[in-house]
Amino acid sequence: MRLTAAAICTLLVFIMPGTVLAHFGMIIPSTSIVNPSDKRLTLTLSFSHPFEKTGMDMVRPQKLTMTVNNNQIDLTDRLQPTTVMTKKAWSLTTTIKKPGVYWFSMTPAPYFEAAEDIFILHLSKTAVAAFGAQSGWDKPLGLETEIIPLTRPFGNYAGNSFTGRVVVQGKPAPNTGVEVAYYNAAGAKRHTAPTQYHITQLVKTDDNGIFTFTCPWAGWWGFAALHDAPYTLPGPDGKEKQVELGAVLWLYMDAVGSQ
Ligand SMILES: [Cu+2]
């Protein structure tokens, strides 16, 4: 049976009432660390349920940028259609030529989530370090909302903790929920959730907008700090709908020992 993304979300709501759905803007590079032996980097952009491994069709993102050493390059026009979890997604392959910390940031088109009667807009970013450089990993990109790392977001082991600061319009966001999802990627160890609560982990920021989460497994981890946007958008029925704004950050935890 084929299910549309909306049907899957509706189904999840039906099966797990009250459960926070783990849909995440995803920006996953082929590696978080680029070495001289292979300078190519492929980025894959999607809007998916990373733990459940069910996808949703994603229309062309509004924007994809690469920021390194205070220079920002717009890569939106270079996005090519691809497939993630059998659904429409986007990708781009580029070559990293110079040392640096490369921040990739995606602004998707607002996604109308019929099951929740809201729009979802996840501003999603990830950092890729090249050739040993590491300055710039702690810099904000100046997004409407974002997670600024306080832990270097690459070169970590599974079992490390990640600490970040959530900002909205540049100001720390206290008492804000941060959803955490593990990308149950093919090739990685498949993890199962003992209960529905385990699918999405949840932490909150403190008075300074800071949160910490310990990542138990090797692989990609997504953090989504969510709040209601100060504006609404017209929905398919013509009525104004709330917009869930997400500051999403993806980072990789490497396996302890040999890989
Ligand atoms: Cu969903």
Distance of CA 256 from the midpoint of ligand 1 (Å): 32
Distance of CA 27 from the midpoint of ligand 1 (Å): 16
In this model, does residue 14 exceed pLDDT 70? Answer: no
In this model, does residue 206 exceed pLDDT 70? Answer: yes
52: nearest Cα among 21, 10, 13: 21
Beta-carbon contacts of 30 under 8 Å, excluding residues fewer than 6 positions away, are 40, 41, 42, 43, 44
Looking at per-residue pLDDT, the higher value among 16 and 48 belongs to: 48
Q: Is residue 169 part of a domain?
A: yes
Q: Is residue 259 part of a domain?
A: no
Q: Is residue 32 part of a domain?
A: yes
Distance of CA 86 from the midpoint of ligand 1 (Å): 14
Q: Is residue 126 part of a domain?
A: yes
219: left (phi over 0), alpha (psi -120 to 50) or beta: left
Q: pLDDT-derived band of residue 3, with 50, 70 and 90 as boundaries?
A: very low
What's the number of domains the chain is made of?
1
User: Mean pLDDT across the stretch 143-166?
Assistant: 98
Helix/strand/coil for 56: strand
The backbone torsions φ and ψ at residue 196, rounded to the nearest 5 degrees and listed phi first, read -65, -25
Looking at per-residue pLDDT, the higher value among 201 and 2 belongs to: 201
In this model, does residue 101 exceed pLDDT 60? Answer: yes
Distance of CA 1 from the midpoint of ligand 1 (Å): 18
Q: Is residue 70 part of a domain?
A: yes
Distance of CA 111 from the midpoint of ligand 1 (Å): 10
Q: Is residue 234 part of a domain?
A: yes
Distance of CA 7 from the midpoint of ligand 1 (Å): 9
CB-CB contact of 143 with 149 (8 Å): no
pLDDT reported for residue 257: 80
Distance of CA 171 from the midpoint of ligand 1 (Å): 28
Full domain range(s) for residue 68: 5-254
Distance of CA 40 from the midpoint of ligand 1 (Å): 31
Q: The pTM is what?
A: 0.92
Q: Is residue 90 part of a domain?
A: yes
pLDDT reported for residue 11: 52
Domain of residue 72, CATH code = 2.60.40.10
Tokens read off for 67 = 């920021």
Q: pLDDT-derived band of residue 91, with 50, 70 and 90 as boundaries?
A: very high
Q: Is residue 69 part of a domain?
A: yes
**Rounded to whole angstroms, how far apart are CA atoms 24 and 60?**
16
Distance of CA 21 from the midpoint of ligand 1 (Å): 6
Distance of CA 54 from the midpoint of ligand 1 (Å): 8
Distance of CA 211 from the midpoint of ligand 1 (Å): 24
Distance of CA 105 from the midpoint of ligand 1 (Å): 21
Distance of CA 44 from the midpoint of ligand 1 (Å): 18
Distance of CA 101 from the midpoint of ligand 1 (Å): 31
pLDDT reported for residue 192: 83
State the virtual CA torsion across 63, 183, 248, 134 in degrees, nearest 10.
-90
Q: Which amino acid is at 118?
A: I
Distance of CA 257 from the midpoint of ligand 1 (Å): 35
Q: pLDDT-derived band of residue 69, with 50, 70 and 90 as boundaries?
A: very high
